[in-house]
Amino acid sequence: MIKKEHILIIILLIIISAFSIAIISLNSADNNTDSNDIYREVLVNDSNETSGTVEVIRNIGNPNGKRIAYVVGVHPLENETHKTLVKLLPNMTNLNYCYDIYIINVTEDIGYYGDGLNNYENPGRQNGQNLAQKYVYPEILNGNYELAIDVHSNIGAYEYKTFVFSPVKEGKSVDYANQVAQNCKNITYYAPPSTTSGPYLTIPLNENGIPAFYYEEYSFAPQDVKDEHMLELINAVDNLNF
Ligand SMILES: [Zn+2]
């Protein structure tokens, strides 16, 4: 015959295990919110597009915050700067806004620095611009974003090496880029005379209600400098008021 005490102990054990399970599942729910359910999605793979692929890392930062899109890979040779954003942004905590990073990965005619081509003749640039126009533009246009930032780098032929600018003369994108520059020690507002990629992404975004500006880094800056500048950009963007 089972003693009363034994029954009590068994009941206690059951209650304790039930509580433990509840606590464990609560904790894992918390963890999910902390990591914000960041996920990576393939928008285009190379079976239907020979010039490259397009992916997006979604839901970085505050999942309930306003939404901002970053774009990398429009010009494939500038990938050191692109990788810097993809390395840093998804690991940042306490962000105010919710970020998606669109990643264009040109696989055809990427080219290389010193190939004798003028930077603008590199055919990989056109492939990236086409992928941006065809796949990234409609996603951002219809994605309920407050702002889009197109990340590039340059070989140092401009007046400034690290800068932001809008491809249009006036509007919210000009204001936002100016505010970012004002809040960054190493980033200036400087608009070059023309952009090759503007007509494929940032200009039509601006013209259709989504403010979009460029971030330009110096291609040959050391990695620690690229990191420092990118963190300045990320934090200044995260402190904009919409
Ligand atoms: Zn570029």
pLDDT of residue 7: 65
Ligand 1 center–CA 216 separation, angstroms: 8
43, 134 contact by CB (below 8 A): no
Q: What is the pLDDT of residues 66-98, one digit of tens each?
A: 999 999 999 999 999 999 999 999 999 999 999
Domain boundaries of the chain, sorted by first residue: 39-238
Ligand 1 centroid, distance to 37 Cα (angstroms): 30
How many angstroms separate the alpha carbon of residue 163 from the centre of ligand 1?
12
For residue 20, what pLDDT is reported? 61
Give the pTM. 0.84
User: Quick one: DSSP state of residue 73?
Assistant: -
The alpha carbon of 192 and the centre of ligand 1 are apart by a number of angstroms equal to 12
Amino acid at 46: D
Predicted pLDDT of residue 14: 62
User: Comparing C-alpha atoms, which of 78, 45, 47, 30 is closest to residue 215?
Assistant: 78
Q: Quick check: 192 pLDDT over 80?
A: yes
Q: Residue 176: name the closest of 111, 110, 97, 84 by CA.
A: 97
Q: How far is CA 193 from CA 41, 78, 213, in A?
A: 35, 20, 15
Q: How far is the CA of 166 from the centre of ligand 1 (A)?
A: 14
- Ligand 1 centroid to Cα of residue 227, in Å, is 18
Count of beta carbons in the 10 Å neighbourhood of residue 173:
24
Q: Which CATH superfamily is domain 39-238 in?
A: Zn peptidases (3.40.630.10)
Tokens 């963890």, residue?
A: 31
Cα of 80 vs centre of ligand 1, distance in Å, is 12
Q: Alpha-carbon distance 24 to 142, whole Å?
A: 39
**Residue 193 DSSP class:** S
CA of 27 to the centre of ligand 1 (A): 44
Q: How far is CA 162 from the centre of its chain?
A: 18
Say whether 40 sits in a helix, a strand or coil: strand
What percent of the chain clears pLDDT 90, i.e. is strictly above it? 75
Distance of alpha carbon 86 from alpha carbon 68, whole angstroms: 14
